[in-house]
């Protein structure tokens, strides 16, 4: 398995009728039309490129030639794969991402009636690792980080940002997309628009963070 640095949409032979190439292009177009993020689209097509390369190395040229047994062998291949640069296995998250791409691709093929049944419908995914952080900041340490914002206009801005992140637990990208009208000081809430999963959600915000935002 090699890194795909060329155009991932070129995976598969475009001259083969109902081959991987044409269906991959259609799948990417569907993801884009369904408003998936460009990051997700890029990850999906690269991960599917790995899968298509693996299939073609074994003489499999079309999705309808893929069986459940074949997908199980690919799952084992992903689990046993070792990176060339350091000989380490893929993380559970990376394994899961590659297999999810395959499962979503075949689900799309089935729903679009390109396949009569979904061979990936029962594909097992690796369980995510659950680890506690080695070191959790104390309240005093958090206060020290926030106080390091400094003075002046930039310091005031940074302090407001840190207070908001600490108070709401929102993600960095969500903070960047935040608008003034999304903060309801009287109710003590913040509306996060199109957050993870492209869903809106309301989160509470503390009085101290509101005070810094008001400055």
**CATH code of the domain in which 164 resides:** 1.10.443.10
Residues 149 and 102 in one domain: no
Give me the chain's average pLDDT, please. 85
In-domain check, residue 156: yes
Q: What mean pLDDT do residues 56-75 have?
A: 94
Q: How confident is the model at residue 74 (pLDDT cuts 50, 70, 90)?
A: very high
Residue 158: which residues within 8 A CB-CB, separation 6 or more?
149, 150
Alpha-carbon distances, residue 75 vs 21, 61, 78 (angstroms): 21, 18, 5
pLDDT at 92: 85
Residues 167 and 106 in one domain: no
Residue 6 pLDDT > 50: no
| Residue where one domain finishes, among candidates 74, 97, 112 | 112
Q: How confident is the model at residue 10 (pLDDT cuts 50, 70, 90)?
A: low
Total number of domains constituting the chain: 2
> In the beta sheet, which residues pair with residue 203?
190
Which one has a higher pLDDT value, 13 or 108? Answer: 108
Q: How confident is the model at residue 101 (pLDDT cuts 50, 70, 90)?
A: very high
Residue 162 pLDDT > 70: yes
- % of residues, the chain, pLDDT over 90: 39
In-domain check, residue 124: no
Query: Can you give the residue range of the structural domain that contains 172?
Result: 139-214
In-domain check, residue 167: yes
Segment among 10-14, 93-97, 136-140, 146-150 with least mean pLDDT: 10-14
Length of the chain: 215
The CB-based long-range contact list for 201-210 (8 Å cut-off, 24+ gap) reads 203/168, 203/169, 203/170, 204/167, 204/168, 205/164, 205/167, 205/168, 206/167, 208/163, 208/167, 209/160, 209/163, 209/164, 209/166, 209/167, 209/168, 210/183, 210/185
pLDDT at 16: 81
- H helix runs in the chain, sequence order: 20-33, 38-56, 68-80, 92-111, 139-147, 152-168, 172-176, 207-213
Residues 32 and 98 in one domain: yes
Tens-digit pLDDT profile for residues 190-206: 888 877 677 788 899 98
112, 17, 102, 105: which is closest to 61 by C-alpha? 17
pLDDT at 167: 87
In this structure, are residues 192 and 178 in contact, taking their beta carbons and an 8 Å threshold? Answer: yes
């Amino acid at each position: 398995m090699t890194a795909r640095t060329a155009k991932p949409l070129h995976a598969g032979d475009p001259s083969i009728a109902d081959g991987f190439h044409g269906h991959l292009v259609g799948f990417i177009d569907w993801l884009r039309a369904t408003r998936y993020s460009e990051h997700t689209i890029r990850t999906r097509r690269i991960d599917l490129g790995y899968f298509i390369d693996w299939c073609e190395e074994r003489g499999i040229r079309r999705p309808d030639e893929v069986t459940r047994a074949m997908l199980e062998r690919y799952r084992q291949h992903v689990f046993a794969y070792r990176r060339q640069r350091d000989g380490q296995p893929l993380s559970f998250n990376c394994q899961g991402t590659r297999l999810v791409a395959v499962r979503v691709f075949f689900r799309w093929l089935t729903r679009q009636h390109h396949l009569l049944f979904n061979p990936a419908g029962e594909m097992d995914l690796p369980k995510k690792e659950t680890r506690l952080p080695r070191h959790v900041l104390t309240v005093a340490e958090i206060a020290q980080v926030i106080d390091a914002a400094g003075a002046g206009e930039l310091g005031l801005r940074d302090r407001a940002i840190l207070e908001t992140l600490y108070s709401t637990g929102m993600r960095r990208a969500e903070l960047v997309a935040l608008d003034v009208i999304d903060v309801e000081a009287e109710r003590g809430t913040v509306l996060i628009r199109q957050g993870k999963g492209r869903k809106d959600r309301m989160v509470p915000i503390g009085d101290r963070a509101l005070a810094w935002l008001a400055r």
